[in-house]
Amino acid sequence: MKHIFIVNPNSGKGKNKALEYIEPKIHEVCKKYNLDYKILVTGKKNDGIDFVRQNAAGDEPVRFYACGGDGTLYEVVNGAFGLPNVEVAVVPLGSGNDFVRLFGDKEIFLDLENVVNGVAKKLDVIKCGDEIAINQCSMGMDAEVCAMQGRIKKLPLVTGEGAYYIGCLYAILRKFKNRFTVTYDDKETAEYNCLFCFIGNSRYYGGGFKAAPLAEPDDGLLDFVVVESIFSRLKLTSLLNSYKRGEHLDWEATHFTRGKKLKIHSQKPAAINVDGECRYVTDAEFEIIENGITFVIPKTSEFLKNRS
């Protein structure tokens, strides 16, 4: 098997800091295990997608390591989707690293030997138009937060979690109500004045907010969390920590269900968030693709122990 490390050199804080940190570790571990490997460094948006497709031709097994943040993982996943010979691994060097939280502390991913010797497991993904999300998608206030967070976290001394809080405050002031028509599994349809609609394949986003606290990425179902806009702005601000802890499923404003597909129609262009990539749409469809990606889980992860 080939091992290809796709490194975003500017993940986290500081130009080239991520590359300076991870490159010597890659050489050390790969030489120790006599691996066939190479390092590719991204320079612009979508390089990760291109690198995967260029290096995965043929039937030879290839493992791609997304060395960066959630944006780097998004690109590697979108390059790898549909290629049966490809595995996806993560070395979390970004400020959020939300997808890997389900599998344990990020330190188990930063231990490169732990990942190189990890277990490849089939996981579900979300298909949204031409994009693939391994973690989550959303529309409404939190998608506006996502768009704002991407700008804020570039500021000095601002963490991914801190940027999310600032983005929340902005969205509470400016994007408080969203009129959506939501269709569940092509059957039941409902209209809401929404704070947001969250589609979870896994549990965390926004730098540690537990938006889908019961989601599992290998159960063949997506978790749909729709929260209506029935709170005052002041009340909602006071509920942010409750939301972060995943306690919002008990709110009177929350509609929670599981399914295979969700469609959302907005009366006007609304933000859509696909694993941190944001744009504006009036219609969106989110559908589960079961066993859509092969993901490498560190060998010491509790996630594996719970499924043994």
Average pLDDT, the chain: 91
Mean pLDDT, to the nearest integer, of 53-81? Answer: 95
pLDDT of residue 232: 86
- 2 touches 34 (CB < 8 A): no
Question: What value, to the nearest 5°, has the Cα angle with vertex 224 and ends 221 and 226?
Answer: 175
pLDDT of residue 255: 97
Rounded to whole angstroms, the Cα distance separating 97 from 102 reads 10
Residues 154 and 11 in one domain: no
Of all helices (H) and strands (E), which one includes residue 281?
A: strand 277-297
Residues 76 and 209 in one domain: no
pLDDT digits (tens, 9 = 90+) for 119-145: 999 999 999 999 999 999 999 987 887
Residues 144 and 264 in one domain: yes
3-class state of residue 32 by DSSP: helix
Q: What CATH number did the domain enclosing 174 receive?
A: 2.60.200.40
Please state whether the predicted TM-score (pTM) of the whole model is above 0.85.
yes
Residues 114 and 160 in one domain: no
pLDDT of residue 212: 97
Residue 49 CB coordination number (10 Å): 19
Radius of gyration, CA atoms only, the chain: 19
Q: How many domains does the chain have?
A: 2
Residues 15 and 108 in one domain: yes
Mean pLDDT, to the nearest integer, of 139-157? Answer: 71
pLDDT of residue 305: 83
3-class state of residue 131 by DSSP: strand
Rounded to whole angstroms, the Cα distance separating 222 from 288 reads 7
Residues 121 and 166 in one domain: no
- 195 touches 210 (CB < 8 A): no
Q: What CATH number did the domain enclosing 91 receive?
A: 3.40.50.10330
Residue 95 has pLDDT above 90, yes or no: no
Give percent above pLDDT 90 in the chain: 71
Rounded to whole angstroms, the Cα distance separating 26 from 40 reads 12
The tokens of 112 are what?
């490169």
Give percent above pLDDT 70 in the chain: 89
Beta-bridge partner residues of 224: 199, 257
Q: Among 268, 295, 293, 292, which Cα is nearest to 282's?
A: 268
The tokens of 233 are what?
């702005």
Residues 248 and 301 in one domain: no
Residues 142 and 273 in one domain: yes
pLDDT digits (tens, 9 = 90+) for 172-221: 666 668 899 999 999 999 999 998 999 999 999 888 889 999 999 999 99
Residues 266 and 164 in one domain: yes
Residues 91 and 208 in one domain: no
Of all helices (H) and strands (E), which one includes residue 103?
A: none
More confident residue, 246 or 17: 246
Domain residue limits at 96: 2-128+292-305
Residue 36 has pLDDT above 90, yes or no: yes
Residues near 249 by Cβ (< 8 Å), separated by ≥ 6? 213, 214, 225, 256
Mean pLDDT lowest for which of 40-49, 146-155, 244-253?
A: 146-155
Query: Taking the alpha carbons of 32, 34, 37, 38 in that order, is the dihedral positive or negative?
Result: positive
Residues 59 and 148 in one domain: no
Residues 231 and 245 in one domain: yes
pLDDT of residue 149: 64
Mean pLDDT, to the nearest integer, of 15-41? Answer: 94
